[in-house]
Structure 1
Amino acid sequence: MPVTVYDVAVLADFRQPGAASAALAAEVHAQAEAALSTVLVHVPAPQQPAGPLGFRHRISDLLRAGAATLARDDQPVAARLLVVRRPWTRPAALSVRAERTVLVADRPPAEPAVYEQARHCFGAEAAWAPAGPRAREQLLRVAPDARIDPDDWHEIIDVAHWWRDRDGFVGDEPVVGLRGPFPVDLGDLRVRWLGDTSPFPQWEAVPFGAELPDEFLRTVDFLVDFQQTFSRSALEAMAAGVPVIVGEHLRPFLAGAALHSPPDGVPALVREVYADPERYRAVVDRAREFAERHYGHRSHLVRLARYGIRPRINVPGPRRELVPAAPAGPRRILMAAEDDLSLLLAVARRLPAGLAAVVVTQSSEAPIAHREGFLTEYIPSREALGVPEPRWTRLLRDRLAHLVDLYAPEVVVVDGLPYEGIVRAVRDHPGVTWVWMRRAMWPRGAGAEWMAAGRAFEHVLEPGEFAALADDGPTVAERSRVHRVGPITGLDAGELLDAARARAELRLDDRPAALLRLAPEHPEAIERIAAHLRRHGFQLVLAESPVAATPMPSVAGARIVQPHPIGRFLRAFELTVSTAGYQAYHEHLASGVATVFVPDRRAALDDQVGRARYADAAGVALTVEDPASAELDQVLDAAVRPEVRAALRRRCAELTFGNGAAAAAAWLSGLTARVRG
């Protein structure tokens, strides 16, 4: 008797509760939409109580609708791809044959023996696919030798099923849905708590199962979910048109699709957004687009294609207005940065038409690139993963190799340290033109090993440095093969707002204003500087990155703002106090604003002290090397004097450097033309 070969076989315990069954059902539904055949292989998990089959209703609905077939115990199963979702074992009597196998892990096992058992059951070629960054970290820690899929196997959702276009709010006052642990009361807000017993008596408890998730979402205006990871409940709310409020720790992953607040700030945020229907609708629209683009059915079909399973019919993409089709896809240039994306984005914005940048980063700034419209890929850093260096080297090499194969770039630019994993990727792809964007101002004696590694690159691009004469880094001989451009800044002079408009947008009054652009890890220094400037009548603004891992400390009498890029607003200020990192340093000098530089000594391979000293010696800025010393008061006493600030502005006006970003973009474009012949 011939055996039917299914496209996908799913091995799981189909009695799994809530989110697990919803995620699985969404994948099967996406496969059915693409005319792919699916067979469900039920294997009871050891920890589940014995008893009759009690499949979740979502699974039963799929079987009744014919979207999937249930495997029989007495017949063998054959499939092109076997997807295993706990348990990661199978009974000896079960006959399942598949060309490829992937083991999906939302909560990877902590016992190494489980991975050996899975290898025995499914073969050494079976790949583990983590459901997200935390699962990937666990896999790499516990099973560093396991074969791990380079991409996450995240949950998906059918946005069209969940979406509800609302006429207005639920009632005359905002209604907040709340799921998961939450530490504070929400005052007089009406709260619907999803759980059996609410932690506060005035909250309405909605026992699990009493309402279907879509029914529950129709009764609330916001969903508050402060779990450590991005939950399926939050994803369902986004798809259903309900704004989600989550913790700051998820800001880098949600690209503006959610609202962020500490727990005690939730009531004020709810009332603020509720009172602004346009902002509410904008959040809803961004969230729906985010859910559809990153977690819709197409994202699942893309990962199936990596395992050789492709749709048998075309699947409609996200609904949006029709636009004229482009005659051909753009040429690609891959631009990779370790953390600070400012220089790469400045160059990427100025690439000529027909040459598109794909941004690759280990930084929490990835959402900034995504919001600016760039294809963006995130590679977790070694510190984020907590893995040994050899494992990290392999991971970095493999991930870069995968992106080169995926996007087929003509040129790859690496801004940052040329780690061994990067160098191996360079050597493995001799047909690609590799460029190292190497910044100056390394401390004396630092970076010799990086200079040696950088020789693997065919080309070196060096952004200009105003303090180049103070550079104790690479020698002239080492720079002989470098292409140099002027200092690179994110904005050209004409893109800065004039003083009146910048002050109006920042809601500043008539008092002199000072901008503090400092590292949030030094709250004592920030408080001391702020107190000094307040005594001299300055109104204070603290600049915070919209994706900062460490929030800016609260300072009495100061406002924290997140305009991006902050450089657009520099003309609003009579005085700025800033670190001396490359981007901030050259932005402040080019804008002509009077500045006190406070170098951040934590930057091991960026000589901020040398850069700040040079600005002081050149008369274009003042410098405080140790903000804990008496020097701080002396320098600030000088900086608050109008005649001192006027002298600094006049000296800055004598500078002649422009923005080297356009020259860098033109040079890179020339390299791509050379590659194309």
Structure 2
Amino acid sequence: MAISRLDIVFVADARFEGGSSTALAAEMAAAARAGYDSGLLMVKGPIIGLPLPVHAAIRRHLDTGTTTRLDPLQKVETRLLLLHHPGILMNPLQPRPLIEAEQVVVVLHHPAVDHAGTVQYDIPSVVRNAVAAFGRPVSLAPVSASVRESLPRRLPGNCRLTEENWDNLIDLDCWPPRQARPVGLPIRIGRHSRPHIQKWPDRLEDAQAAYPTDGRRYETWMLGGGDFLREHYGELPASWTLLPFRQEDVAGFLRKLDFYVYYHSDAWSEAFGRCILEALSVGLVTILPASFEPVFGDAALYGTPQDVVSIIERYAADADLYASQSDRARRFAETRHRLDRFADRIAALLPQAKTETLSAPPLMPPLPSRTVLFISSNGIGMGHLTQQMAIAERLPPDLTHVFATMSYALKVAVDAGYQVHFLPHHRAMDAEPDDWNTVFAEELFELVRHVRPAVIAYDATPVYPAVAEVLALFPDIYSIWVRRPMWREVHRKFLDYHDIFDAVIERGELADAFDLGPTKEFQARSLVVPPVLHVDPASREDAATARRLLDLPADGTAVLLQLGSGSNFDMSEARAAVIQAVLAHRDTFLVELKSPISNGGTNAASGNERHFVRKAFPAFRYSQAFDAAVSAVGYNSFHENLLGALPTLFVPNEAPEMDLQANRALWAQLNGYGWMMRRDTDLPACRDIVARLLDPWERSRVRARCRSIPWQNGAARIAAFIADHARLVRSDRRPVEPEQAL
């Protein structure tokens, strides 16, 4: 394998939501601006237990090539290795990275001991694991005076403390100062932080003092507030406006404020205060507890929560005093934290480092190939397999895909060029579940041992014991459970397996408000992405081309009929009623598209010359051929028809093992996105319901509402998540005991 040579390699858990990731992203930008070639090796550390995606700002650097993604198996030589955050070194890095570095620096983004005296990380362990991973003594670089003071007076061997703090840097071009204006009424007070209760005062009386509740005189805007505050404080003041945490346009939020006020829990030790630096950068008059004075000096004002109102009133009443403090805040950011200080910092570490700006990124050897193993159950339709194909098609070319499925629709994956292994379900074999599970575990074990994937992506509602057994035997493989929402209560037992996976991803649901299923309780511990489609609506064939490819009449009102395979819920009466009602309209013709797993009998043509049966996969690619549809309400067809703006009469499959299809259909009907017809209660009204579906005015209204739905394809989000986690170094657990290893 060729050796990659870089000036700087960043090693970090890029999933942190707060200041450490923002600071890292700023350094990546500064490195590129100064002409340094840099790479990022991502770590899954022990601090973040939730399946968070890569921080948006870091993601942009990877996507644009500002910083090169690295693989643990890649041989890299670098002049400087920057390990961001001591938390990633609490356990040994596995596997040991193949990186040779001239200098190794551990950037300490967190105090070693907090205000309560609790040890946050063990410095000897951090140093020992860094030296073991990279074979060199390390420099410890605290990000602030408070972090420096938290370190033990006697440091272990093989390390030294940097003379200067590793100050956070900020690109001031992205943080223009607020417009000079007098402070009016109501006075706007604000704060922002990631949504964690320790980022807030412990007591309600302190919070109400710091963020006054007189709504006639004050408004308080809290970016990163949420229900956790109501749980902590109880009823919140009406003058507080809670906004969800976001990483985008924070500068715009800050420039609308008059004062920035930040108080946190007595037990919390803020390592630096990135959010405070951002407020100072836009020139906000900022009020803080006295513990921040060693970090921000006269750039901010200090006091107890009970002092806040008097400080605000003093500065609000004196425009010159306010302007002077605002200028002081901005100058502090310009003097001590501007982005171009990074080049001076690196030059001091690497005296012979180059400083010329590159005209193009360096040529890097290709990343070593990695494999993703997609495992899916059979289901009643083919939704699980189709969803996995949607993700696989959006993975980067350096990741190969292998499918193992119980679906009889596996031929569609074979035809798409994927390597596919068939794993028969016990029902197909007429086998006892316990006996089958034993055999299934053996087959799955042999497949995983043969493929050696970097990631296993499992898509099914049931989690079989065999899956848990095999995952336990391969703890180094990153495992993901991608599951749909809208579960029935009967499936709750499978949620006992939630924690055997490294991550759980839930596909987004447009009808989420009507999801009463048990997975709702687990959404806070899962990564919820937007609805997933195999085919993006914009990439479908146009109407004329689709009709030509399906050999359909060019004129007339075309109705698509897709009621599923009928294998577990008899739709024959509903189908017959719909065919009769649609064909009663003389200018209308009806088209059934065969399912790849259809048994054939349910899709026989009625004999009417305006009733067509066609075969096409994926059906959504041809959906613009149709003016309306009658469809079951599975996850795929529901979201395809709504996001494709195809006016649809939804007929739910209400078999007990299915998801809550009736809830989806009811949500669509109540919100004007379609119509609903239940097999067991609504067939007598079928003719009238179909008449509404075929009414041009009604269809136009539904189509317009559907087109207004905001959406991004969750398949791309999941693919990005898999790509990131296919090239991880892990330090989220201690090493496996030798007798446990394979």
* TM-score normalised by length of structure 1: 0.50
Q: Is 1:342 matched up with 2:391? A: no
Matched, 1:584 2:637: yes
CA distance in 2, matches of 1:475, 1:363: 24
* C-alpha contact (below 8 Å) 2:581/2:686 kept by paired residues: no
- 1:507-656 superposed matches below 5 A: 507-509=551-553, 510-521=555-566, 522-537=571-586, 538-551=588-601, 552-557=603-608, 558-602=611-655, 604-626=657-679, 629-656=683-710
SS at 1:657 equivalent: coil
Report the Cα offset of residue 640 of structure 1.
1.4
Deviation at 1:527, TM superposition (A): 1.8
Show the counterpart of 2:501. 457
2:474 is equivalent to residue 423 of structure 1:
no
> Contact between 2:581 and 2:690, CA under 8 Å: does it hold in 1?
yes
Cα distance, 1:674 vs structure 2: 1.6
Residue 644 (structure 1) shift: 0.8
Is 361-370 or 453-462 further displaced after alignment?
A: 453-462
Once the 2 structures are TM-superposed, how far is the Cα of residue 626 of structure 1 from its aligned partner?
Answer: 2.1
Q: Kindly indicate whether the alpha-carbon contact (under 8 Å) linking 1:496 and 1:567 is maintained by their aligned counterparts in 2.
A: yes
- The answer on 1:432 being equivalent to 2:487 is no
Write the distance in 1 (CA, Å) between the matches of 2:422 and 2:481. Answer: 19
Alignment match, 2:222: none
1:376-391 to 2 correspondence within 5 Å? Answer: 376-391=420-435
Q: Secondary structure at the match of 1:406?
A: helix
Q: Are 1:462 and 1:484, in contact at CA under 8 Å, matched by a contact in 2?
A: yes
Residues 547-569 of structure 1: CA distance to partner in whole angstroms, max 9, x if unpaired? 43454233232111111111011
Task: Go from structure 1 to structure 2 and tell me whether the alpha carbon gap of 1:663 and 1:327 turns closer, same or farther (over 3 Å shift).
Answer: closer
2:722 corresponds in structure 1 to 668
In the alignment, residue 631 of structure 2 is paired with which amino acid? S
Which residue in the other structure is 1:394 paired with? 438
SS at match of 2:727: helix
Residues 423, 503 of structure 1: alpha-carbon distance in 2 compared, 3 angstrom cutoff: same
Q: Give CA deviations for 1:511-557 in whole Å, capped at 9, x if unaligned.
A: 11111011243223212101110011211110112343454233232
Does the aligned pair in 1 maintain the 2:372–2:401 contact within 8 Å?
Answer: yes
The Cα of 1:639 is off from its aligned counterpart by 1.0
Is the alpha carbon distance of 1:621 and 1:376 closer, same or farther for their aligned partners in structure 2, counting shifts above 3 Å? same
Amino acid of the residue matched to residue 576 of structure 1?
A
| 8 Å contact from structure 1 (residues 410, 675) kept in 2 | no
Corresponding position: 1:370 with 2:414:
yes
Deviations 1:122-177 (A, max 9, x none): xxxxxxxxxxxxxxxxxxxxxxxxxxxxxxxxxxxxxxxxxxxxxxxxxxxxxxxx
SS at match of 2:607: coil
How far apart, in 2, do the equivalents of 1:653 and 1:328 lie?
40
Structure 1's unaligned 5+ residue stretches are 1-325
Q: Percent identity?
A: 28
Query: What letter matches 2:370 in structure 1?
Result: R
Tell me: CA distance 1:329–1:407, structure 2 relative to 1, closer, same or farther (3 Å): farther
- The SS at the match of 1:356 is strand
User: Which runs of structure 2 are paired with 1:300-379 in the superposition (5 Å)?
Assistant: 330-339=369-378, 340=382, 341-379=385-423
The answer (yes or no) to whether the contact 1:619–1:651 under 8 Å persists in 2 is yes
Instruction: Determine the C-alpha separation between the residues in 1 that align with 2:528 and 2:478.
Output: 18
Partner of 2:522: 478
For 1:565, the aligned partner's letter is P
Contact 1:446 1:605 in 2 (8 A): no
Task: Output the aligned Cα RMSD.
Answer: 1.9
Letter of the aligned partner of 2:676 in structure 1? T
Work out whether 1:408 is the aligned partner of 2:452: yes
The partner residue of 1:658 within 689, 712, 721 is 712
Structure 1, residues 192-247: CA drift from partner, whole Å, max 9, x if none?
xxxxxxxxxxxxxxxxxxxxxxxxxxxxxxxxxxxxxxxxxxxxxxxxxxxxxxxx
- Which position in structure 2 is the counterpart of 1:179? none
**Structure 1 residue 475, shift from structure 2 partner:** 5.7
Matched-pair contact (CA < 8 Å) for 1:364–1:549: no
Contact 1:520–1:553 (CA under 8 A) maintained in structure 2: no
User: Matched residue of 2:437: which SS?
Assistant: helix
Q: Is the 8 A contact 1:638 1:644 kept in 2?
A: yes
**Residue in 2 aligned with 1:177?**
none
Q: Residue 400 of structure 1 contacts residue 425 of structure 1 at CA under 8 Å; is this kept in 2?
A: yes
Are 2:565 and 2:597, in contact at CA under 8 Å, matched by a contact in 1? no
**Aligned length, in residue pairs:** 351
In structure 2, the residue corresponding to 1:489 is in which secondary structure? coil
For 1:480 and 1:519, the matched residues in 2 are separated by: 33
Compared with structure 1, are the counterparts of its residues 625 and 363 closer, same or farther at alpha carbon in structure 2 (3 Å cutoff)? same
Counterpart residue type for residue 519 of structure 1 = G
Are the counterparts in 1 of residues 487 and 517 from structure 2 also a CA contact under 8 Å?
A: yes
Deviation sequence 1:267-299 (CA, Å, 0-9, x none): xxxxxxxxxxxxxxxxxxxxxxxxxxxxxxxxx
Give the 5 Å matches for 1:50-65: none
Q: Distance in 2 between matches of 1:622 and 1:479?
A: 28
Equivalent residues of 1:330, 1:356 under 8 A apart: yes
Deviation at 1:614, TM superposition (A): 0.8
SS at match of 1:508: coil
Q: Report 1:246-261 matches (<5 A).
A: none
**Partners of 1:386 and 1:354 in 2: how far apart?**
40
Moved more, 360-369 or 326-335: 326-335
> Matched residues in 2 for 1:573 and 1:605: separation?
27
Gaps of 5+ in 2: 1-364, 732-742
Residue 453 of structure 1, CA deviation: 2.2
**Structure 2 SS opposite 1:539:** strand
- 2:664 and 2:537 map into 1 onto residues whose CA distance is 22
Residue 658 of structure 1 aligns to a residue whose secondary structure is coil
Deviation at 1:477, TM superposition (A): 4.4
CA deviation map 1:436-493 (0-9, x unaligned): 11110012x2322111123221210111110111111136542222112110001112
CA 1:520–1:365: 2 relative to 1, 3 Å = closer
**Residues 590-637 of structure 1: CA distance to partner in whole angstroms, max 9, x if unpaired?**
110111110111261411111111111111011101266323223112
Instruction: Describe the shift of the 1:408–1:675 C-alpha distance in structure 2 as closer, same or farther (beyond 3 A).
Output: farther
C-alpha distance in structure 1 between counterparts of 2:376 and 2:662, whole Å: 23
1:401 counterpart SS class: helix
Return the alpha-carbon distance in structure 2 between the equivalents of residues 618 and 354 of structure 1: 43
CA pair 461-520 structure 1, distance change in 2 beyond 3 A: closer
Looking at structure 2, the residues matched to 660 and 471 of structure 1 have their Cα atoms a distance apart, in angstroms, of: 18
The separation in 2 between residues aligned to 1:458 and 1:554, in whole angstroms, is 48
Change (3 A) 1:370 1:568: same
CA distance in 2 between counterparts of 1:515 and 1:407 reads: 41
Rounded Cα–Cα distance in structure 2 between residues aligned with 1:673 and 1:328: 10
Tell me the secondary structure at the aligned position of residue 402 of structure 2. Answer: strand
Counterpart code for 1:427: A
Say if 2:492 is the partner of 1:448. yes
Change in CA separation of 1:647 and 1:526 when aligned onto 2, cut-off 3 Å: same
Instruction: Confirm or deny: 8 A CA contact 1:367 1:547 kept in the other structure.
Output: no
Q: TM-score, normalised by structure 2?
A: 0.46
Matched residue type, 1:488? V
**Cα gap change, 1:370/1:329 in structure 2, threshold over 3 Å: closer, same or farther?**
farther
| SS across alignment from 1:376 | strand
- Name the SS of the counterpart of 2:559 in structure 1: strand
SS of the residue 1:488 aligns to: coil
Determine the C-alpha separation between the residues in 1 that align with 2:390 and 2:660: 22
Distance 1:477 1:364, change over 3 A: closer
SS in 2 for 1:469: helix
Higher alpha-carbon Rg: 2
